[in-house]
Copies of this chain bind each other. A is one copy, B any other.
Amino acid sequence: MKKIFRKEHASEKKEDEDEEFERSTRHCRCKHCPIIHRKKLTEIDIDRLEKKLKTVQYKIDEDVDQQLRELAEFVHIKTISDDVECLKETVKAIDLMANKLEKLNFKVEEFQINQRTTTCAEVPPQKVLFATYFSSPTKNTLLLYLFLDVFPTEEENSWFKNPFSLSDSDGILYGRGVTAGKGPAVCWLQTFRTWKNLYHDLPVNIKIICEAMHEVGSVGVHQIVESRTNFFDDVDYVIFSFNSWLNDERPVISCSLCGWASFGLEVRAGNKTLDSGIAGGLVYEPMTDLCHLMNSLVDDRHRVLVPGIDSMTRPIGQYEWQLLHQAEYGEYFYAYKEVLDVRRLKHEVTKIELLRNRWCKPSLTMHGVEGCYSGHGSQCALPLTVIGKFTIKLLPDQTVSHIHVYVQEYLNSKHAELKLLTDMHLMVIDGCDPYLWSMESKHMHGIRNAVSSVFRVEPKMSSLICPCLPMASFIRKTTKKTVIVIPFTNRADRRMQINESIPKSRFINNTKMYAGVLHELSLMPVRCKCDVIRDYCLRRGFGEILDHQMLPRQSAPPKKMKNLRRMTNIKTLTVLPQDYQDSNTKSNDAPTTKRRKSSFKKLLFRPTNILKSSK
């Protein structure tokens, strides 16, 4: 029954999608909207495009060495963002990335992260890259979130090899960052490069956010994203490469993100911090009361005591139970214990119970206490205002606001029951509702195709195995765009552990899968974005320029062209006319194959824009 509901839900969504396309085109002000007037793709078109994809994937297989060299180049930079000493290196990695993207004709903008006040001046300011590759208004736009920093290596001596030097041993690539961050970034770069080398353009528009503070909570990145929301106006899909495989055989694609509600429980008896020598025994100490209140949240078996904490979560259907059954990671518990470096796991008796708690149940974590003394050694501070911090993980269809009410009511009752004489105040410091999307929508089918065609296995789709990806949730919350989470690593790859590694074959297959994702999303219907960006349809990207160079002069009367140019806001376009003239005069005789060396490199006179050329 559950499944039927979801299918209905999905078909509704599909209708929704179509309706949205209809509506958006109605807003279009341009006379000859390229999206309204576009030709539907025929079977032959699709065949031709698929052949292109095959060529790209074949080329990726051929250029393995180049890709590994690039990976080695990134791995070599010691980008441990948790280590102040390494913050120069993270900047270097970002600069390298910017350089590489610029070579691929991306327009790159850098934003400086506001320095944390406690650090010294010698720490270089951290940067976030916003990169744009605009091919055509008639193509879908993908946003990629990449990061280049890595988790600390702990004892470097425990690694087989130097963690910051890529090594290939028995077809397995060892190096810090190969499974997350640097690995996906290099795969995307390779995909773009191969496509551009072969066809001089990409099948979709690309936007990239690339940072190097991911492993330390993306400090400051949130503010930059929030202040630049217009960057996301024309984005259709946001892609994250965070998913793990379910087991050795089967990739999994999540269709949900869990949310969270971070609470601050303030207990106040006064404003100062006193000296326990002077005031000890005299005042009602908020730390004591905070302990009482925090304690009432969880029992000694670590069960959350707030009534209603489980309410509004979706029941686990038969399909999800099966998934939990199928999930196997070889020596499952041991691996987990090793990752987490603990001796005992909750619910470690049964795998399913453990996984259900991990993925499908809300949980409460206490982080610490603000306002208290948390340093090393002893101090005689007696804080009079302390804020206990805890977070409740939320699952679809819970919301931050309803959990807030439950927690507030429960703590109020406890405060009254304990007759505490200090003041209590509960606040939501940070919160994000969980997010669930249909696994039956067109683009999810596309992603599934992209994965299955490369790995030759049907990926598992799930909306109840709920990953917690704060950055994904944050970008979803800020931009309201469609999120896609695709798999990259297997649990055996030892992400965040010593001897992080990835099999070379899967690494290359991931690159090919990325190419497949570009291809599949390029086939999705395109929405006219003139409703959010004025005259979006009149913009000209690389695709249009290439097309224009192919067409006879008269097809684009000079007057109208000028007008077009004025309207567009793509910087690269403004330098084009001279280039264009140059190239026209210089290499008019052999324009088809030879690469040009003008400032507008790699621009060729061969028609490559898919949609235009398929007219």
Footprint of B on A, CB under 8 Å? 118, 120-121, 217, 258, 260, 262, 264, 269-272, 274-285, 287-289, 291-292, 294-295, 298, 300, 302, 336, 340-346, 354, 357-358, 361-384, 386, 389, 391, 393, 418-421, 429-430, 468-470
- List 9 A–B pairs whose Cβ atoms lie within 8 Å, in order of A's numbering: A280-B468, A283-B342, A288-B298, A370-B376, A377-B429, A378-B389, A378-B429, A380-B391, A380-B470
- By DSSP majority rule, is chain A's interface helix, strand, loop, or mixed? mixed
A365 touches B295 (CB 8 A): no
Residues of B near A277 (CB, < 8 A) are 258, 260, 393, 468-470
The complex places the Cα of A280 from the Cα of B430 at a distance, in Å, of 17
The complex places the Cα of A437 from the Cα of B190 at a distance, in Å, of 80
A9 to chain B, nearest CB (A): 26
Residues of B near A284 (CB, < 8 A) are 302, 342, 344, 346
- Nearest first, the 3 A-B pairs at minimum CB distance are A368-B372, A281-B363, A277-B468
Residues of B near A217 (CB, < 8 A) are 379-380
The complex places the Cα of A378 from the Cα of B357 at a distance, in Å, of 23
A368 touches B378 (CB 8 A): no
Residues of B near A373 (CB, < 8 A) are 367-368, 389
A291 touches B366 (CB 8 A): yes
The one of B276, B278, B341, B367 in contact with A271, judged by C-beta atoms closer than 8 angstroms, is: B341
Residues of B near A289 (CB, < 8 A) are 300
A67 to chain B, nearest CB (A): 29
Which residue of chain B is the closest to A429 with respect to CB atoms? B378
A485 to chain B, nearest CB (A): 14
Also in contact, A370 and B363, with CB within 8 A (given A282-B346, A358-B281, A380-B470)? no
Residues of B near A285 (CB, < 8 A) are 302, 365-366
Central interface residue in A120, A217, A287, A361, by most chain B CB within 10 Å:
A287
A368 touches B383 (CB 8 A): yes
A339 to chain B, nearest CB (A): 8
A359 to chain B, nearest CB (A): 9
A372 touches B375 (CB 8 A): no
Copies in the complex: 2
A270 touches B368 (CB 8 A): no
A488 to chain B, nearest CB (A): 15
The one of B283, B287, B377, B470 in contact with A345, judged by C-beta atoms closer than 8 angstroms, is: B283
The complex places the Cα of A284 from the Cα of B262 at a distance, in Å, of 19
The one of B275, B283, B354, B381 in contact with A282, judged by C-beta atoms closer than 8 angstroms, is: B354
A342 touches B269 (CB 8 A): yes
Which residue of chain B is the closest to A276 with respect to CB atoms? B365
Which residue of chain B is the closest to A348 with respect to CB atoms? B282
The complex places the Cα of A302 from the Cα of B279 at a distance, in Å, of 14
Residues of B near A379 (CB, < 8 A) are 217, 367, 389
B291 touches A420 (CB 8 A): no
The complex places the Cα of A217 from the Cα of B379 at a distance, in Å, of 7
A338 to chain B, nearest CB (A): 10
A417 to chain B, nearest CB (A): 9
Residues of B near A381 (CB, < 8 A) are 367-368
Which residue of chain B is the closest to A286 with respect to CB atoms? B366
Residues of B near A269 (CB, < 8 A) are 342-344
Residues of B near A368 (CB, < 8 A) are 287, 369, 372-374, 381, 383, 386
A490 to chain B, nearest CB (A): 16
The complex places the Cα of A28 from the Cα of B418 at a distance, in Å, of 67
A563 to chain B, nearest CB (A): 49
Residues of B near A430 (CB, < 8 A) are 377-378
A340 touches B378 (CB 8 A): no
A507 to chain B, nearest CB (A): 23
Which residue of chain B is the closest to A336 with respect to CB atoms? B282
B340 touches A270 (CB 8 A): yes
Central interface residue in A284, A342, A354, A363, by most chain B CB within 10 Å:
A342
Residues of B near A393 (CB, < 8 A) are 276-277, 280-281
Residues of B near A270 (CB, < 8 A) are 340-343
A288 touches B302 (CB 8 A): yes
Residues of B near A367 (CB, < 8 A) are 276, 287, 372-373, 378-383
A430 to chain B, nearest CB (A): 4
Residues of B near A374 (CB, < 8 A) are 368-372, 374
Residues of B near A363 (CB, < 8 A) are 276, 280-281
Residues of B near A365 (CB, < 8 A) are 276, 280, 285, 287, 380, 382
Which residue of chain B is the closest to A262 with respect to CB atoms? B378
The one of B336, B358, B369 in contact with A372, judged by C-beta atoms closer than 8 angstroms, is: B369
A-B contact sample (7 more), CB < 8 A, given A300-B418, A368-B369: A118-B118, A260-B277, A274-B340, A276-B365, A288-B298, A340-B384, A365-B380
A161 to chain B, nearest CB (A): 22
A104 to chain B, nearest CB (A): 32
Which residue of chain B is the closest to A116 with respect to CB atoms? B375
Residues of B near A336 (CB, < 8 A) are 282
